[in-house]
Every structure is written in C-alpha cells, then in structure tokens.
Amino acid sequence: MEIEIRSPKTKSEWENYYELRFRVLREPWKQPRGSEKNEGDTIGIHLALFQFGVIKAIARLDVFDEHVGQVRFVAVESDNQGSGLGNRIMREAEKLSIARGDTHMILHAREQAVGFYLNQGYDLIKKSHLLFDTIQHYLMQKRY
C-alpha cells in the first residue's frame, strides 16, 4: 500500500483535493460548488493522503489558539472509508500540531463521525453547531 501524506503541489493535485472535499463534505447536502472552500484555506496546513498517486483522504490543520490546533475538513473517499486512511491522516495532522508546540487539538465532528474520533483518543466536550440546518456537530478535544 504505497502511501504518501503531504500538501498538494500541482494545479491538478489542488483540483483533486478540493474535488474530494466537495464530493464528501458538501455535495451530499446539495451545497453549491465553492462551498468547500473558505478563508482559512490561505493559511491552513493542507494534508492529502496519496495512495499510488491518487488522493484518498484529506484534512486541514489550523491554529485555533496559542498551543491549540484545530483539524477541519477531514474527508476520506467514500469507497475507502473504514480502511484506516482516516486514522493515518489524523495521526499526521496531530504529529504536525505537536511539532509546532500545540498541547492539544480540537475539532467539530459530525454526529456520524463521533465514534471515529473517540477511537482516535478524542474526548467529547459538548454539542456544538448545526451545519446546513441538518448535520449536528460536536466539539471534541485531544490532549497530547
């Protein structure tokens, strides 16, 4: 299983990165193209998991506060969910967060992903926002 995790480099890789983000996190809820991007994209650390040269999972690492990282836009290609690729991209995001001096990571998990993050060692803090008036999110945190 030839895997590489890094930021996209070429125009084509960036297009594939945002396409995966759109298909998994926006399209199922009938959101328009462009909704997969936000202002944090210019400063966040983008991670793409390439398997045999094809992007299969993505995440973005942000600075939330001093010594606090935030992971956002975590997505795994639909036919690869449950294969361990989500675990790998999360471990890489945490590694980068620790390397820059963060003491913990936060995230807002969709309701159906809470179990995944609990298995990654995150604690459920509280119910947070409702995305698209449909998708309940929960604030979660992991201390290093």
The average confidence (pLDDT) of the chain is 95
Segment 9-33 shows an average pLDDT of: 97
What residues contact 43, with CB distance under 8 A and at least 6 apart? 62
CATH class of 3-143: alpha beta
Residue 35, pLDDT > 70, answer yes
Residue 68, pLDDT > 70, answer yes
pLDDT of residue 55: 98
pLDDT of residue 52: 95
For residue 31, give the DSSP letter: P
Residue 135, pLDDT > 90, answer no
pTM for the structure as a whole: 0.93
Residue 54, pLDDT > 90, answer yes
Which H or E run includes 100?
none
**Strand 104-110 with 54-65, pairing:** unpaired
**Structure-token pair, residue 91:** 């471990």
What digits encode the pLDDT tens for the residues 70-113? 999 999 998 998 899 999 999 999 999 999 999 999 999 999 99
**Structure-token pair, residue 3:** 């895997």
Q: Spell out the domain ranges in the chain.
A: 3-143
Segment 121-144 shows an average pLDDT of: 93
pLDDT of residue 130: 83
